[in-house]
Amino acid sequence: MSNSRRILLCSCNNSMHIDHTLIADSLDREIPEAATDLCRSGLARAEKALAGDAPVLIACTQEAAVFLETAEETGHDADLQFLNIREKAGWSRGQAPATAKMAALLAEALVEQPGYATIEMESEGHVLVLGEDEAALESARRLSERLDVTLVITTDFALAPPAIDAFPIYRGQVAGLVGHLGAFDVNFGNLAMMLPASREVMTFGPGTPQQQKFDLVLDLTRSASLITAPEKRDGYFRVDTNDSVAVADTLFDLADMVGEFSKPEYVRYDAGICAHNRSGIDGCTRCLDICPAGAIIRAGEKVSFDAHVCGGCGMCASVCPTGAAGYQVPTSSTLLTRGRTLLATYGKAGGEKPVLLLHDTRHGEEMITYIGRHFGGLPANVLPFAVNEVTQTGMEFLISAQAWGAAQIALLVPPARVDEAEGLREIAGWVDAVQAGLGYERYGVHLLDEADPEALGARLNDLADKAIAAAKPATFLPLGNKREVLRLGLQMLHEAAPQPVDQIALPDGAPFGSVNIETKGCTLCLSCVSACPVGALSDTPDYPRLSFLENACIQCGLCRQTCPEKVISLETRLRLTPDVMEKRVLHEEEPFACISCGKPYGVRSTIDHMVEKLSGHSMFGDEQALNRLKMCADCRVVDMVQNAPDPMAGGARPLPRSTDEYISGKLTDDEDDPTVH
Residue range 556-588, pLDDT digits in tens: 999 999 999 999 999 999 999 999 999 999 999
Lowest mean pLDDT, pick from 85-99, 238-252, 566-580, 598-612: 598-612
For residue 599, the model assigns a pLDDT of 86
Nearby residues of 158 by Cβ (< 8 Å), 6 or more positions away: 201, 202
Residue range 499-516, pLDDT digits in tens: 999 999 999 889 999 999
Distance in angstroms between the alpha carbons of the first and the last residue of the chain: 101
Between 3.40.50.10800, 3.30.70.3270, 3.30.43.10, 3.40.50.2020, what CATH number should domain 513-588 receive? 3.30.70.3270
CB 537 within 8 A of CB 559: yes
For residue 416, the model assigns a pLDDT of 86
For residue 76, the model assigns a pLDDT of 92
For residue 500, the model assigns a pLDDT of 93
Average of per-residue pLDDT across 374-397: 96
Q: Is the pLDDT of residue 610 over 60?
A: yes
For residue 224, the model assigns a pLDDT of 93
For residue 677, the model assigns a pLDDT of 45
Q: Is the pLDDT of residue 73 over 60?
A: yes
Q: Do domains 346-501 and 513-588 have the same CATH topology?
A: no
For residue 249, the model assigns a pLDDT of 96
Residue range 408-425, pLDDT digits in tens: 999 999 998 898 899 999
CB 323 within 8 A of CB 483: yes
Classify domain 120-262 at the CATH superfamily level.
Answer: FAD/NAD(P)-binding domain (3.50.50.60)
| C-alpha to C-alpha distance for 525 and 537, rounded to whole angstroms | 13
Q: Is the pLDDT of residue 386 over 50?
A: yes
| C-alpha to C-alpha distance for 91 and 89, rounded to whole angstroms | 6
- Measured in degrees and rounded to the nearest 5, phi and psi for residue 206 equal -70, 145
Sign of CA dihedral 89, 93, 95, 96: negative
622: left (phi over 0), alpha (psi -120 to 50) or beta: beta
**CA torsion, points 57, 63, 67, 72, in degrees to nearest 10?**
130
Using DSSP's 3-state secondary structure scheme, residue 128 falls into strand
- Domain limits of the chain? 1-83, 120-262, 265-327, 346-501, 513-588
Judging by beta carbons within 10 Å of its beta carbon (0-12, 13-18, 19+), is residue 73 exposed, middle or buried? exposed
Q: Is the pLDDT of residue 523 over 60?
A: yes
Spell 463-475 as b/e; 16+ CB within 10 A means b.
Answer: bbeebeebeebbe
Between 2.40.50, 3.30.70, 3.10.450, 3.40.50, what CATH number should domain 346-501 receive? 3.40.50
CB 587 within 8 A of CB 576: no
For residue 319, the model assigns a pLDDT of 95
Q: Is the pLDDT of residue 676 over 50?
A: no
Sign of CA dihedral 248, 249, 254, 255: positive
- E strands, 140-207, in order: 148-153, 169-171, 174-180, 183-193
Return the CATH fold of 265-327: Alpha-Beta Plaits (3.30.70)
Residue range 319-344, pLDDT digits in tens: 999 999 999 999 999 999 999 999 99
For residue 622, the model assigns a pLDDT of 81
Average of per-residue pLDDT across 9-28: 95
Q: Is the pLDDT of residue 111 over 90?
A: yes
